[in-house]
């Protein structure tokens, strides 16, 4: 099982690097709205609460640590042992640690891992008041994204979705007046934006793909699939459906941009958009910090638009992170009290502590509606607002047993089609056969 960004280092710009470079030293701002109140357990017995995340880089720690100190101040008998590990090793740390009988009380995890965690009995079920709060205070998509087999497992935190990003200056120079709304328009616009040198090689790609990164391949494909009326998986999760006709059409459309329109050079990747070597890319909102720092013209030159659609409605994919509590913790009340405090605004109209962290340290969208409203100054900018708006129609990444293995399998087969090794049908049928075997194996194990 591999993580969402595990392979991103192969394309030259990892999410971890983005967060390190884009994190602001904003601890005072994050603390400004924190006051004593919700979630605090008053206990006379000293309590050590161990929390594990992948937010270990110093700029992130500079924002997180004062928040944790504030909680300790309000709950003086609680000591927080804040542990971090690089994201590449987070899942391994959780699984191997539990196998050895060593486990934190609280984790911050990727929602795609929920089925395997549920099967392994990693997670404690949240108290009723936590479940009610999540149902009432978060977007439906975020609540659904942290739900597996009808059970909400923890507090949604960061939410990301994918949209079409484009270089405004390149649009203007090529006479493109507006972003494409349909697949036919995407092919036309990508072709017009493509520039070649005297040797015929692409110098400015009309569209950029991200081979080598599972999320960068599969997430956009899934969004395009949904926008073509297709489905990734059956409603009962008994089998995948991405190899049906809408999926074949989707992969053929992606392949057409390479072979017919000749707007894609698979050697021009994600980092090249930052360097001004590509006009369009489908990417998630967490890239904001890198674009703000390194993109020519900064965010003012970045256009954001919905996915062009095929034979279906406009759609996109969102994926979430969440806080969970270990089922084996000896202090569940203290663990959930901490999480309630972290995820609840201290006053009406304010932001929760985690909402402050997400915006101050990472510049990403918090899942709680109140946090989104409290940070309209940031979330209302020209880059993030389209992503926030897209959450109204975004669909959560399918959370199914073996989801990460299936994702990696599909990535490899999509890339096989991109590189001319297989037809779209052959590639997707191969991926579906392997995926359905994974589903069947997981079903037998449950």
Tokens representing residue 96 in the block: 């191997």
pTM of the predicted protein model:
0.85
What residue spans define the domains of the chain?
Answer: 8-159+319-396, 161-317+399-445
Give per-residue pLDDT as tens, 180-213.
999 999 999 999 999 999 999 999 999 999 999 9
Please check the confidence at residue 5 and state whether its pLDDT lies above 60: no
Span 51-84, pLDDT tens digits: 999 999 898 999 999 999 999 999 999 999 999 9
CA distances from 152 to 133, 292, 343 (A): 11, 35, 15
pLDDT of res. 230: 98
Which residues are bridge partners to 375 per DSSP?
Answer: none
Q: Which residues contact 444 (CB under 8 A, 6 or more apart)?
A: none
Range 144-169 burial, b when 16+ CB lie within 10 A, else e = bbbbbeeebbbbbbbbbbbbbbbbee
Under CATH, what is the fold of the domain 161-317+399-445? D-Maltodextrin-Binding Protein; domain 2 (3.40.190)
Fold equal for 8-159+319-396 and 161-317+399-445: yes
Are 280 and 358 a contacting pair, CB within 8 Å?
A: no
Structure token digits, residue 282: 């489908």
pLDDT for the residue 26: 45
Q: What is the pLDDT of residue 27?
A: 45
Fold of 8-159+319-396: D-Maltodextrin-Binding Protein; domain 2 (3.40.190)
139, 307, 412, 437 from 425: Cα distances, Å: 36, 23, 14, 18
Instruction: Write down the residue that tokens 């605004």 correspond to.
Output: 345
Q: Where are the alpha helices (DSSP H) in 278-331?
A: 288-294
Beta bridge partners of 321: 110
Contact 288, 363 (CB under 8 A): yes
CB-count exposure of residue 425 (10 Å: 0-12, 13-18, 19+): middle
């Amino acid at each position: 099982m591999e993580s969402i960004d595990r392979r991103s280092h192969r394309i030259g710009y990892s999410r971890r690097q983005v967060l390190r470079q884009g994190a602001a030293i904003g601890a005072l701002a994050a603390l400004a709205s924190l006051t004593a109140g919700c979630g605090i357990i008053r206990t006379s017995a000293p309590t050590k609460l161990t929390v594990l995340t992948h937010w270990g880089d110093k700029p992130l720690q500079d924002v997180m640590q004062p928040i944790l100190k504030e909680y300790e101040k309000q709950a003086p008998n609680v000591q927080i042992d804040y542990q971090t590990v690089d994201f590449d090793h987070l899942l391994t740390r959780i699984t191997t640690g539990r196998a050895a009988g060593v486990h934190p009380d609280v984790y911050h995890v990727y929602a795609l891992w929920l089925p395997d965690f549920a099967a392994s009995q990693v997670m404690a079920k949240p108290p009723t008041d936590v479940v009610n709060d999540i149902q009432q205070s978060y977007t439906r998509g975020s609540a659904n994204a942290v739900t597996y087999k009808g059970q909400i497992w923890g507090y949604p935190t960061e939410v990301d979705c994918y949209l079409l990003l484009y270089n405004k200056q390149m649009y203007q120079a090529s006479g493109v007046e507006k972003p494409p709304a349909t697949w036919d328009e995407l092919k036309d616009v990508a072709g017009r934006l493509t520039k070649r040198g005297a040797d015929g090689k692409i110098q400015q790609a009309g569209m950029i793909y991200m081979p080598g990164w599972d999320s960068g391949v599969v997430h956009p494909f899934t969004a395009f699939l949904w926008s073509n009326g297709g489905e990734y998986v059956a409603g009962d999760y008994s089998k995948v459906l991405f190899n049906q006709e809408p999926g074949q059409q989707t992969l053929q459309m992606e392949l057409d941009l390479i072979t017919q329109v000749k707007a894609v050079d698979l050697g021009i990747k994600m980092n090249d958009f930052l360097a001004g070597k590509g006009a369009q890319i489908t990417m998630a909102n967490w890239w904001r910090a890198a674009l703000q720092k390194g993109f020519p013209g900064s965010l003012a030159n970045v256009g954001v638009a919905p996915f062009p659609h095929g034979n279906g409605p406009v759609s996109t994919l969102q994926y979430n992170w969440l806080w969970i509590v270990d089922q084996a913790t000896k202090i569940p009340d203290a663990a959930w009290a901490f999480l309630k405090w972290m995820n609840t605004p201290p006053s009406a109209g304010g932001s929760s502590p985690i909402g402050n962290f997400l915006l101050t340290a990472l510049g990403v969208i918090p899942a709680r509606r109140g946090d989104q409203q409290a940070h309209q100054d940031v979330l209302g900018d020209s880059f993030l607002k389209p992503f926030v708006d897209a959450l109204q129609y975004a669909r959560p990444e399918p959370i199914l047993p073996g989801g990460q293995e299936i994702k990696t399998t599909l990535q490899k087969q999509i890339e096989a089609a991109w590189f001319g090794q297989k037809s779209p049908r052959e590639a997707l049928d191969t991926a579906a056969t392997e995926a359905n075997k994974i589903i069947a194996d997981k079903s037998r194990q449950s």
